[in-house]
Structure 1
Amino acid sequence: MSYLHAFWLALVQGLTEFLPISSSAHLILMPHLFDWPDQGLYFDVATNTGTLLAVLLYLRQEVRELLLAWLGSFRNGATNRDARLAWAVVWATVPVGAAGLLAASHAELLRTPLVIATTSIGFGLLLWIADRSRGRRSVYEIRAADVVVIGCAQALALIPGTSRSGITMTAGVFRGLSRQSAARFSFLLAIPVSLLAGGLDLVHFITHPQALPWGIFGFAVLVAFISGYACIALFLRLIERIGFTPFVIYRVALGAVLLLLYL
C-alpha cells in the first residue's frame, strides 16, 4: 500500500465515521470502485484509532466529567446528571457488544455493494422521517427507554451501510432528543464501541502476529485523526441549522448509483 492510497482511505474514514453515512460502507466500496486491493483488518484498526483519538480529544472535558462521575457512582452511589449520562452510555453499548460477539462472522457475508445500496437508502429515508419530529430534549435528559431504543438500534450497525452514527442519531431524534443532543450521544457511544472493537482486534494481532508497515499505519492514524476532529467540530456546529436532509440525499443518491452499477 502506498502513502497516497493510505491517505485517501484514512481521509474517507475520518470524514465519514461521525457523519450519518457509514464509514464502513465507504471503506468497503472504495476497493470495489477503484479496483484497489482490500486494505485489510489492521489498516482499519489504524484509521479507527485515529478517529477514536479525535472524539476523545474533542469531547475531552465531557469524557473526563462522565468518567469521574461514573467511578464516583460506585463509591457513593452518586446519581448526578453526569453519572446518569455515563451509565446511559454503558447500557446503550451492551446490545452492540452482544450482537458483535454473536454475529460478527455472519456480518462478513453482508459486505457487498447491493447490501450497502439497500441499507443506505432504507436507513437514509428513516433518518429523514425521524428528522421531521424536531425533538428538543438535552442529552442530559435521556431516559431509560431512550437508552434501550438507541442501544438496540446501534446493534443494527453491524449491517454494512447502516451507519452506527446514523442509526443512533435516528433513534435519538425519534425519541425526542434534539439533533445536537442525538449527535453528542452518538459520539459518546463511539468511544466504548471503538475500544471494544480495538480490544478484539488486539487479541487477534497477538494471536496472529505479523510484520506490518508501521510508517504507513502511523500516517493513516494521523490523517484519520485530523479529518475526524474537523468533521466533529463542523458537524456539531452546523447540525441544528442544516438538519439531516443533506445526508439523506447523499445516502439515497449513493444507494441509487450502486443499484445501477451492481444490479
Structure 2
Amino acid sequence: MSWFESLILGLVQGLTEFLPISSSAHLRLTAAFAGWEDPGAAFTAITQIGTEAAVLIYFRKDIAKIISTWFRSLYTASLRSEQDAKMGWLVIVGSIPIGVLGLTLKDQIEGPFRDLRVTATTLVVMGIVLGVADRLAARDEEGGRHRAVRERKTLRQLSVKDGLIFGVCQAMALIPGVSRSGATISGGLLLGFTREAAARYSFLLAIPAVLASGAFEVKDVVESPGHIVWGPTIFATVIAFVVGYAVIAWFMKFITTRSFMPFVVYRIILGILLFVLVGAGVLSPHAGESGG
C-alpha cells in the first residue's frame, strides 16, 4: 500500500464510518474502482480505531460519567439505579452479539462477505430498512406535534431487551455494506427511539466492539508480520481520526432537524450501480481482493 492509497482510504474511513452508508463497503469499493488491492479486514479494523478515538473524545464527558458511575456502582448499591450505571451495563450487554458472531464468522468476514455482489445487496436492502424506519420516526414526530401518535423514547427508557436488539443490529455490520451506524440506528428507530437517542447509543455501543476488533487484528498482524504495511496504515488511522471527529460533530447536529432519506437514496443508487457494473463485467465480484 502506498502513502497516497493510505491518504485516500483514511479519508474514506473518516467520512463514512459514522454515516449510515457503510465504511467497510466504501473502503472495499474505493480499492476496487481504483484498481488497488482490497485493504482487507485488518486494515479496516485498525483504521476504525482512529475513528473510534474521535468518538472517545467527542463523547468524553458522557463516557467518563458512565465508566465512573458503573465502576462505583459495583460496590455502592445506591448508585445502581443511576442512569449512567445502567448505561454501562447496557453497553456491555449490547456488545455481546457482535463479540460472539465476530469470532464465529471471522473466516466469512475476511472471505465470502467481501464479494461485491453481497455488498451491493446489503447496500440496497439496508437502505430500504433505514428508509422505512426513518419514515416511521417522521410520522411519529409529526403526529406528536398534533397529539396523534406515540411519543418517541429516550435513552432513559432503554431496556436490556432493547440493548440486545441494538447489539444484534450492530453485529449485522460485520457484512460490508450493512453499516454499523445504519443498522443500529435503523433498529433504534424501529424500536421507537428518537433519532438522537438511537445515534448516541449506536456510537457508545461501537466503542468496545471496534476497540476489541482493532486489538484482535493488531495481535494477529504482530504474530504474522508481512500482512500489513504499518507506516501507511498508521497514517490512514490518523487521517480517519481527524476527519471522523468533524463528521460526528456535523452528523449529531444534522439528525436533530433532518431525516436520513438522503443516505437512503445514496445507498440504493450505489447498490444498483454496483449490481450493473458487476453484471456488465466492468467489475469482477472479487475486484481488488488481496491475492486476486
Give TM-score, length-normalised by structure 2.
0.85
Q: Supply the AA of the counterpart residue of 1:92.
A: G
Greater C-alpha radius of gyration: 2
Count the aligned residue pairs. 263
Label 1:223 to 1:132 Cα distance change in 2 as closer, same or farther (>3 A). Answer: same
Q: Are 2:179 and 1:163 aligned?
A: yes
Partner residue, 1:140: 156
Q: Are 2:117 and 1:101 aligned?
A: no
| Deviates further, 28-37 or 216-225 | 216-225
Please say if residues 128 and 248 of structure 1, whose CA atoms lie closer than 8 Å, have aligned partners that are also in contact.
Answer: yes
Q: Distance in 1 between matches of 2:160 and 2:206?
A: 19
RMSD: 1.6
Q: Are 2:44 and 1:28 aligned?
A: no
Please say if residues 46 and 218 of structure 2, whose CA atoms lie closer than 8 Å, have aligned partners that are also in contact.
Answer: no
Q: Distance in 2 between matches of 1:203 and 1:214?
A: 13
Segments of 5+ residues of structure 1 without an aligned counterpart are: none
| Deviates further, 228-237 or 99-108 | 99-108
Q: 1:128 aligns with which of 128, 131, 142?
A: 131
Q: Are 2:219 and 1:200 aligned?
A: no
Q: Are 2:108 and 1:92 aligned?
A: no
Q: Are 2:260 and 1:244 aligned?
A: yes
Q: Hey, which of these two has a bigger chunk of helix by percent?
A: 1
Label 1:45 to 1:118 Cα distance change in 2 as closer, same or farther (>3 A). Answer: closer
Q: Supply the AA of the counterpart residue of 2:185.
A: M
| 1:169-221 deviation digits (Å, cap 9, x = unpaired) | 00011111110110011100110011110121122123223496544333212
Q: Supply the AA of the counterpart residue of 1:122.
A: V
SS at structure 2 position matched to 1:30: helix
Please say if residues 82 and 140 of structure 1, whose CA atoms lie closer than 8 Å, have aligned partners that are also in contact.
Answer: no
Partner residue, 1:218: 234
Q: Supply the AA of the counterpart residue of 2:16.
A: T
Segments of 5+ residues of structure 2 without an aligned counterpart are: 141-151, 280-292
Q: Supply the AA of the counterpart residue of 1:83.
A: A
Please say if residues 123 and 270 of structure 2, whose CA atoms lie closer than 8 Å, have aligned partners that are also in contact.
Answer: yes
| 1:118-162 deviation digits (Å, cap 9, x = unpaired) | 111101100111112226222232122211211112221112211
Q: Distance in 1 between matches of 2:73 and 2:61?
A: 18
Q: Distance in 2 between matches of 1:39 and 1:160?
A: 13
Q: Supply the AA of the counterpart residue of 2:157.
A: E
| 1:227-262 deviation digits (Å, cap 9, x = unpaired) | 100110000001121111011001001001001101
| 1:14-47 deviation digits (Å, cap 9, x = unpaired) | 1111111110111111121110123345533442
Q: Distance in 1 between matches of 2:193 and 2:34?
A: 39
SS at structure 2 position matched to 1:203: helix
SS at structure 2 position matched to 1:162: coil
Please say if residues 117 and 278 of structure 2, whose CA atoms lie closer than 8 Å, have aligned partners that are also in contact.
Answer: yes
Q: Distance in 1 between matches of 2:229 and 2:108?
A: 29
Q: Which runs of 4+ in 1 moved over 3 A?
A: 40-43, 209-215
Q: Distance in 2 between matches of 1:99 and 1:2?
A: 32
Q: 2:190 aligns with which of 166, 174, 178?
A: 174
Q: Are 2:204 and 1:188 aligned?
A: yes
Q: Are 2:44 and 1:44 aligned?
A: yes
Partner residue, 1:3: 3
